[in-house]
Amino acid sequence: MTNLTLRSFACAAILLILIYNFSASLTNYICIPSGITSVPPFLTSSASSTADMANAVDPSTHLRLSLAQTSKSPPTLSLTVTNTHPSAALTFVTWNTPLDDALLPLGLLAITDPATGERLNKDSIKINRMTPPEADAFVSLKPGQTSEEHVVELRNGPLVPLEKVKGGKVQVKVQGQWGDVWVDEEVGPQRWGEKSGKGVKGAFDSGVVEVEV
């Protein structure tokens, strides 16, 4: 009987030690004391994945710009942007991009006379904008998705002196820099202050397109 009692006490002691050690380990993950900055890996995996994805995105290649003429009278251009990234959704603001309504006066669209090599629209403006942007200025594209068509008309005038063109054709090119492109994040006017300046950046370039005028 004595041996059985001692054995029972020993088993109980071992069981208590195991329970204590398990509880201590569990507490380290569930109850993080104040002042401790480290967190369990499963709590940081989501943030790490987002950061890794952002580092893997290059707007210069993952936002493909397409430019084409859709009409001759008046000369009309169509611009679209396609997200070519295989898995990440990309969000940007249209300001100073190919989808900006002020694309032409901002000087992002260059119009050149191929006969002389002279750029016709030499003047450009700068626009002071009120922040945050309106909700419709934010464009979010899922993988493989293309933006709505952006239409630009080339009308003869002080900004674009088409009367100087003798051969009936001009060369156009859209070129500039993406300001902020956010990866797999929902960004709108409410989060503008928090997210502005924290997106990835890159260049856009349509290449030269010949347009009949």
| pLDDT per position as a tens digit, 170-198 | 999 999 999 999 999 999 999 999 999 99
Task: Please check whether residue 24 lies inside any domain of the structure.
Answer: yes
Note down the domain range covering 27.
Answer: 2-38
Residues 88 and 166 both lie in one domain: yes
Same domain as 144, residue 73: yes
Residue 200 falls within a domain, yes or no?
yes
HEC assignment per residue over 95-140: CCCCCCCCCCCCCCEEEEECCCCEECCCCCCCCCCCCCCCHHHEEE
Whether 11 and 90 map to the same domain: the answer is no
Does residue 82 sit in the same domain as residue 12?
A: no
Give the mean pLDDT of the chain: 84
| pLDDT surpasses 80 at 36 | no
Same domain, 154 and 98: yes
pLDDT at residue number 42 = 43
The angle subtended at Cα 82 by Cα 77 and Cα 86, nearest 5°, is: 165
Do 17 and 92 lie in one domain? The reply is no
Residue 130, domain CATH: 2.60.40.2970
Same domain, 64 and 160: yes
Q: What percentage of the chain reaches a pLDDT higher than 70?
A: 74
Is residue 3 predicted with pLDDT exceeding 60?
no
pLDDT tens digits, one per residue of 98-138? 999 999 999 999 999 999 999 999 999 999 999 999 999 99
**Phi and psi angles of residue 201, each rounded to the nearest 5 degrees, phi first:** -125, 165
In a domain, 43, yes or no: no
47-94 pLDDT, tens digit per residue, is 445 555 556 789 999 999 999 999 999 999 999 999 999 999 999 999
49 occurs within a structural domain: no
| Residue 54 within any structural domain of the chain | no
Structure-block tokens of residue 8: 């029972």
- Report if residue 47 sits inside a domain: no
**What are the backbone dihedrals phi and psi of residue 21, each rounded to the nearest 5 degrees, phi first?**
-65, -40
Is the same domain home to 87 and 181? Answer: yes
Looking at the domain assignment, is residue 103 inside a domain? Answer: yes
Q: How confident is the model at residue 167 (pLDDT cuts 50, 70, 90)?
A: confident
Mark whether 77 and 25 lie in a shared domain: no
Q: Which amino acid is at 180?
A: D
Residues 108 and 194 in one domain: yes
Same domain, 26 and 68: no
- Looking at residue 170, its pLDDT comes to 97
pLDDT at residue 1, rounded to an integer: 47
Task: Specify the pLDDT at position 43.
Answer: 42
In which band, very low, low, confident or very high, does the pLDDT at 202 lie, cut at 50, 70 and 90? very high
Considering its fold, how many domains does the chain have in total?
A: 2
How buried is residue 22: exposed, middle or buried, by Cβ count under 10 Å (0-12/13-18/19+)? exposed
pLDDT at 211: 97
Report pLDDT digits (tens) over 66-78: 999 999 999 999 9
Q: What global pTM score does this model have?
A: 0.74
The mean pLDDT value for 201-205 works out to 97
Q: Answer whether residue 167 is part of any domain.
A: yes
Same domain, 78 and 24: no
pLDDT reported for residue 166 = 85
